């Protein structure tokens, strides 16, 4: 009998090899890989470490014949060019690969019809489940989807208990980073990210946190310091910052609702001859990789992208395997405020 080969001449690792390295039974490894039976978290982690070390890959063809499932899920974001979504996609793919799931990706552009098609499993049987970050989809459309398959939602949109949802607390994140500015001594704090005429949930929640921080510190919310934007990209941040700098009394700090807006604002401040943070502090939200390499480096709210991805994949896997069949869960991973050069003057 020929020995399975991994393409390098070495025998491909087997369940038995993983079990020996992890110090558990083959059945336990099978339970971890296939999700058939719950496994204690320390044991699951030990098995996963052995899988990663050996490079073990489940036999997806055999799994499909045994379970009737394809081992493929869909992942869809509204704006894949956005670094935040791109970085989160990488984490979701890695989390799925660790449990032997293949990910197909799509970019919906925030179009409700495209989001509904994704949420319905692309209209075919090859998709076991879907992870979706919706912008335009509403609850009524989601309830009426043509094919009800396991679904996990990411992001701010609350579509009710129709599906599991993994999201960070945007209000708290915005509040904490604005409080950081207040603690640093800034008092005329602007916010870039409000959308007109139809603000998205992101804008509403991050504006709410900003307002809470100001009012909690006894500061007034000045509408002149809330320039609206069309979208959340660098040119929008730069344009809004230029508008703020034309005010008779410009702000001394700016909270941007995402890092791309903040990077655009940094550019506009530089063009105006302002020093950041000596003349003007700027903070963002999302902690994309570029934030750490900007000049100056950007203070920002850092969601735990890896944990968001792991929780989303775990929830979807539990739905696919029918280990959980209850109402939609609300799961809120933590965040942290990463303080960098753009908001703190050396004392």
Summarised one tens digit per residue, pLDDT across range 190-210 is 999 999 888 889 999 999 999
In DSSP terms, 254 is beta-bridged to 190, 282
Q: What is the separation, in whole angstroms, between the first and last Cα of the chain?
A: 72
**Ramachandran area for residue 346 (φ above 0: left; ψ -120 to 50: alpha; else beta):** beta
The share of the chain scoring above pLDDT 70, in percent, equals 91
pLDDT at 177: 98
Q: Which residue has the higher pLDDT, 121 or 181?
A: 181
For residue range 312-337, list pLDDT tens digits in order. 999 999 999 888 888 899 999 999 99
For residue range 223-237, list pLDDT tens digits in order. 999 999 999 999 999
Cα dihedral 39, 42, 47, 51 sign: positive
Q: Which residue has the higher pLDDT, 268 or 50?
A: 268
Is 50 exceeded by the pLDDT of residue 300?
yes
Over residues 40-68, mean pLDDT? 74
Same fold, 69-168+304-335 and 170-303: yes
Q: Tell me the residue ranges of DSSP E strands in the chain.
A: 72-77, 102-107, 129-132, 151-154, 164-166, 189-192, 253-256, 281-285, 299-303, 330-331, 335-338
As a whole number, the mean pLDDT across the chain is: 89
Residue 175 pLDDT class (50, 70, 90 cuts): very high
Over residues 61-81, mean pLDDT? 75
C-alpha–C-alpha distance, residues 246 and 160, integer Å: 42
Over residues 70-80, mean pLDDT? 90
Over residues 75-100, mean pLDDT? 93
Domain ranges of the chain: 15-57, 69-168+304-335, 170-303
The domain defined by 69-168+304-335 folds into: Rossmann fold (3.40.50)
pLDDT at 10: 60
Q: Which of 197, 194, 198 is nearest to 211 (CA)?
A: 194
Question: How do 164-166 and 330-331 pair as beta strands?
Answer: parallel
Residue 347 pLDDT class (50, 70, 90 cuts): very low
pLDDT at 155: 92
CATH code of domain 15-57: 1.10.260.40
Tell me whether the omega of the peptide bond preceding residue 171 falls within 30 degrees of 0, making it cis.
no
pLDDT at 151: 93
Is 90 exceeded by the pLDDT of residue 258?
yes
C-alpha–C-alpha distance, residues 28 and 51, integer Å: 13
pLDDT at 142: 84
Is 50 exceeded by the pLDDT of residue 4?
no
Is 70 exceeded by the pLDDT of residue 2?
no
170-303 classified as CATH 3.40.50.2300: yes
pLDDT at 346: 61
pLDDT at 3: 37
pLDDT at 274: 97
Is 70 exceeded by the pLDDT of residue 35?
no
Residue 51 pLDDT class (50, 70, 90 cuts): confident
Residue 26 pLDDT class (50, 70, 90 cuts): confident
Over residues 136-164, mean pLDDT? 85
pLDDT at 217: 97
């Amino acid at each position: 009998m020929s020995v399975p080969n991994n393409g390098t001449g070495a025998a491909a690792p087997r369940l038995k090899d993983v079990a020996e390295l992890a110090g558990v039974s083959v059945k336990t490894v099978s339970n971890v890989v296939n999700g058939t039976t719950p496994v204690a978290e320390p044991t699951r982690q030990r098995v996963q470490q052995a899988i990663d070390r050996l490079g073990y890959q489940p036999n997806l063809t055999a799994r499909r014949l045994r379970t009737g499932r394809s081992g493929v899920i869909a992942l869809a974001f509204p704006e894949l060019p956005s670094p935040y979504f791109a970085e989160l996609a990488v984490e979701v793919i890695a989390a799925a690969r660790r449990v032997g799931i293949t990910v197909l990706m799509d970019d919906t552009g925030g179009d409700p019809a495209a989001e509904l098609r994704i949420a319905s499993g692309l209209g075919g049987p090859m998709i076991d489940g879907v992870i979706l970050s919706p912008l335009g989809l509403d609850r009524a459309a989601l309830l009426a989807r043509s094919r009800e398959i396991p679904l996990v939602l990411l992001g701010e949109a609350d579509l009710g208990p129709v599906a599991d949802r993994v999201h960070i607390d945007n209000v708290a994140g915005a509040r904490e980073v604005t409080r950081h500015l207040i603690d640093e001594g800034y008092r005329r704090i602007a916010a870039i990210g409000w959308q007109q005429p139809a603000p998205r949930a992101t804008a509403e929640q991050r504006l709410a946190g900003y307002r809470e921080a100001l009012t909690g510190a006894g500061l007034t919310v000045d509408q002149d310091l809330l320039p609206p934007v069309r979208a959340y990209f660098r040119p929008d941040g730069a344009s809004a910052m230029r508008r703020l700098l034309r005010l008779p009394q410009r702000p001394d700090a700016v909270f941007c609702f995402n890092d791309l807006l903040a990077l655009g604002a940094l550019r506009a401040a530089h063009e105006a001859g302002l020093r950041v943070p000596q003349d003007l502090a700027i903070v963002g939200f999302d902690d994309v990789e570029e934030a750490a390499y900007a000049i100056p480096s950007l203070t920002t709210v850092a969601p735990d992208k890896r944990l968001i991805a792991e929780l989303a994949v775990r929830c979807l896997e539990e739905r696919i395997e029918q280990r959980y069949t209850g109402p939609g869960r609300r799961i809120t991973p933590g965040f942290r405020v990463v303080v960098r050069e753009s908001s703190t003057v050396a004392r």
